[in-house]
Each structure stands twice: as C-alpha cells, then as structure tokens.
C-alpha cells in the first residue's frame, strides 16, 4: 500500500501547544474528486423562496396536525408542508437591490433595497394609531407577502375599479416600497391612512382602536381587491341529504380537500395563500353514532389558555401547573380541540333520530395557514 503524503511542517506557534493533537494525514484526492471540486458550484444558499399561490398540503391521511403539534415536532422538517417560509433576506434579493439603487429616479422599481437597511424603516403615529402601525410592521415582516408586493405581483391581480378597497391595496403597496427602500429612519403613512379612512368609518379618526380588528379589516380589504378569481362564480349550493351521507363516509383528508376546493373556486389571493386555514367541526350523536362534519376557513384562531382547575385542562397541563411551568401553545391547541358534550338545552337535533339527542362536538385544525 502506498504511504499517504505527509502534511507540511507545523507552524511554530502550533508546535508550542503540546496539548493539542496534530490532525491526521489526509489521503490524496483522486482525479475525479479534483474535477468535482473544480466544477462544483458555490454552496447553495440556505434561503428558500416559496412559490406564490401554492396550496400548503398537510402530510399524512389525517389533515389534523394537532397531534404532531402536541408532540412538538417541527412541521417543516416532518414534511407537513411542500413549501417553506423564509423570513430572512436572501442573497439574490440583495443583488437585485444593488441594481435597483442604480436605476433612474423616474423608474419605479419592485426590488428589495440594500440589506444594510433591510426593513429598518419605522412608522410615525397619528395620535393613537400605534395599533395600525404595529399591524403594518407585522405584515411588512412577512417574507412571502413582502416579496409579492415588492416584485409587483400584485399589479396583475388588482381589481381595476374605483372601490375604496382597491385604494387600500395600492397605498399599502406604496407604503411597503417606501419602508423597504431604507432611505429614511421613519416615515408617515399618510396616503395609506387616508385610504383606510375612506374605506372604513371605524378607523377614520385618531382614536385608539383594536389591532386585532384592524388586522382583520386590512386582510379582508387586501383579499377582496387582490382576489384573482374573476369573474367570481356564484356560491356553491348546499349538499343534499344523500350527498351529506356520502360525504360523511369519506376520510377526513378527502373531506377537507373537497371543501377547500369549493372555497378556493371563489377565493384565491395572496391572503388566502398565506393567512387562511381550515377548521373541521364534527358533531356525533351519542345514541345512533351519526356524524355531521362541516368545514370553514379562518385567518385568526382564538384558543383558550387552560389552567389546572379548568375543565379543558389535561393531565399534562395539571402536571405543568404543579411544577409552576408555563402553559405552551400546544396545550392551548389541545384545549381548543377538546371534545365538548352537548346536553340539556344544548342537545343536538340528530337528522337520523329526528329528535334532540345528547352529542359531542369537536373542533380540529384541518389545514394550517402557510
């Protein structure tokens, strides 16, 4: 066997440290390995850009992700989604930003600015409008949405009419571009605020309002003005009794997919792609075991915070409370999905029994937002 070549002599400073071991000698690379090193491209960037308008698909036959979330499993590493969300700037964006900075002032660009000022622009308050600015900053920090507006994708989806909601979308796009240019430390969202006041009486003044209500209003306005399902088909008809029976026999994943397809036939926008999910609600008659399953979309989810003394508290929550450990989000989701007993005045009118029966009701997250 040929002996591997020896490494060159160690530097003096390295030789004076006897406690450190010398690295083992390396075997010479073959000609094929040398060719691969010479032709290999630079290391791929860790920044993954998700495609716009892609349906996040849950892994497994059961669309509910509550069990996996309770186990603390990373949804992305477990394959829960086909596309990942990336919040950090990627090198390609920074390279485009350099070109955008050198462009003439008369030409409006849709690229991100230099990474040195990446999203560092603040917003000034008008009286008590911090609720509005906080929501804007949250949306401006959502990577897929920022790229959608900064690349000009919204222009082809904008509903070309004179409605106030379209003005909100236009001013929001202009505001994002001003925020991400990085030219100023802070700016005043005057145009955006005027468009919001024109569209909603509630947010017209300078009084303090609820940030949650403003977020719901803004997402709804953006969805309605950027919904690219045109012309919009009429609403789906209700299922007949026979169709409902056939629907109940389907697996949960197939039920959720059918109902999501019914919804997206009339609604598909950047808001749907990122912020909307799906809830499954199932009623079960305790007498005849008949079930009734419905699905509805959501862009916000209010979950209870269980305590050790509450009915929603599981054994894990009580054990955490005994150790003075804080309740985590997975326990809150478990409490949200706890089975509820419908009895007394809340009995369910069972379609099969034709009378009110004691039943159970359970909510599950069938599809998470992106």
With a cut of 50, say whether residue 89 has pLDDT above it.
Answer: no
> For position 120, what pLDDT does the model report?
79
What average pLDDT score do residues 39-58 get? 35
Overall pTM > 0.75: no
Task: Tell how far CA 32 is from the center of its chain.
Answer: 44
Q: Is 142 exposed, middle or buried (0-12, 13-18, 19+ CB in 10 A)?
A: middle
How far, in whole angstroms, is CA 186 from its chain's centroid?
Answer: 27
Residue 17 has pLDDT above 90, yes or no: no
Q: Is the pLDDT of residue 55 over 50?
A: no
Give 231 or 87, the one with higher predicted confidence.
Answer: 231
Write down the mean pLDDT value for the chain.
Answer: 74
Q: Are 217 and 224 in contact (CB under 8 A)?
A: no
Does residue 185 register a pLDDT over 60? yes
Query: pLDDT class for 107, splitting at 50, 70, 90?
Result: very low
pLDDT at 213 over 50: yes
pLDDT for residue 106 is more than 70: no
Task: Give the confidence band of 161 by pLDDT, cuts at 50, 70, 90.
Answer: confident
Q: Which residues contact 360 (CB under 8 A, 6 or more apart)?
A: 283, 284, 286, 339, 340, 341, 342
With a cut of 90, say whether residue 338 has pLDDT above it: yes
Which pLDDT does position 365 carry in this prediction? Answer: 94
pLDDT of 32 > 90? The answer is no
C-alpha to C-alpha distance for 116 and 179, rounded to whole angstroms = 13
pLDDT at 54 over 90: no
Residue 306 confidence class, pLDDT cut points 50, 70, 90:
confident
Say how far apart CA 204 and CA 265 lie, in whole Å.
34
User: With bands split at pLDDT 50, 70 and 90, how would you rate the model's confidence at 56?
Assistant: very low
Looking at per-residue pLDDT, the higher value among 102 and 6 belongs to 6
With b meaning 16 or more CB within 10 Å and e meaning fewer, what string describes 60-85?
Answer: eebbbbbebbbeeeebeeeebbebee
DSSP string, 35-101: HHHHHPPPPPPS---PPTT-----SSS----HHHHHTT--TTTTT--SS----S--HHHHHHHHHHH
pLDDT surpassing 90 at residue 86 = no
Comparing 232 with 358, which gets the higher pLDDT?
Answer: 358
pLDDT level of residue 313 (50, 70, 90 thresholds): low
The whole-number average pLDDT for the span 62-83 is 35
Largest Cα span, the chain: 92
Radius of gyration of the chain (CA): 28
**Is 60 exceeded by the pLDDT of residue 110?**
no
Which of 103-107, 192-196, 220-224, 304-308 is predicted with the least confidence, judged by mean pLDDT? 103-107
pLDDT over 90 (residue 259): yes
pLDDT at residue 18, rounded to an integer: 44
Confidence category of residue 144, pLDDT binned at 50, 70, 90: very high
- Cα-Cα-Cα-Cα torsion 201, 207, 211, 215, nearest 10 degrees, comes to 30
């Amino acid at each position: 066997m040929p002996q591997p070549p020896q490494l060159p002599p160690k530097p003096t400073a390295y030789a004076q440290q006897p406690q450190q071991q010398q690295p083992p000698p390396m075997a010479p690379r073959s000609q094929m390995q040398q060719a691969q090193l010479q032709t290999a491209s630079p290391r791929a960037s860790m920044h993954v850009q998700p495609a716009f308008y892609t349906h996040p698909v849950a892994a497994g036959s059961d669309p509910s992700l509550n069990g996996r979330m309770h186990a603390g499993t990373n949804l992305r590493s477990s394959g829960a989604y086909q596309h990942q969300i990336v919040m950090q700037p990627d090198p390609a964006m920074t390279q485009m930003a350099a070109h955008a900075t050198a462009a003439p002032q008369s030409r409006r660009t849709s690229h991100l600015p230099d990474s040195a000022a990446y999203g560092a622009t603040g917003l000034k308050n008008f009286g008590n409008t911090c609720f509005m600015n906080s929501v804007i900053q949250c949306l401006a920090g959502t990577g897929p949405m920022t790229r959608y507006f900064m690349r000009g994708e919204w222009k082809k989806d904008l509903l070309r009419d004179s409605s106030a909601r379209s003005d909100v979308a236009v001013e929001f796009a202009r505001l994002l571009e001003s925020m991400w240019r990085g030219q100023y430390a802070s700016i005043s969202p005057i145009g955006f605020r005027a468009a919001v006041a024109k569209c909603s009486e509630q947010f017209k003044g300078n009084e303090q309002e609820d940030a949650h209500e403003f977020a719901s209003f803004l997402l709804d306005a953006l969805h309605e003005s950027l919904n690219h399902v045109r012309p919009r088909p009429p609403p789906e008809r209700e299922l007949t009794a026979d169709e409902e029976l056939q629907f109940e026999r389907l697996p949960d994943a197939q039920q959720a997919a059918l109902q999501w397809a019914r919804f997206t036939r009339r609604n598909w926008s950047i808001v749907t792609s990122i912020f909307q999910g799906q809830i499954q609600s199932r009623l079960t008659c305790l007498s005849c075991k008949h079930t009734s399953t419905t699905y509805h979309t959501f862009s916000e989810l209010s979950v209870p915070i269980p305590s050790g003394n509450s009915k929603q508290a599981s054994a894990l929550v009580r054990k955490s409370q005994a150790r003075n450990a804080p309740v985590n989000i997975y326990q809150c989701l478990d409490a949200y999905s706890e089975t509820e007993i419908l009895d007394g005045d809340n009995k369910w009118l069972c379609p099969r029994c034709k009378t009110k029966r004691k039943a159970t009701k359970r909510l599950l997250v069938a599809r998470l937002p992106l």
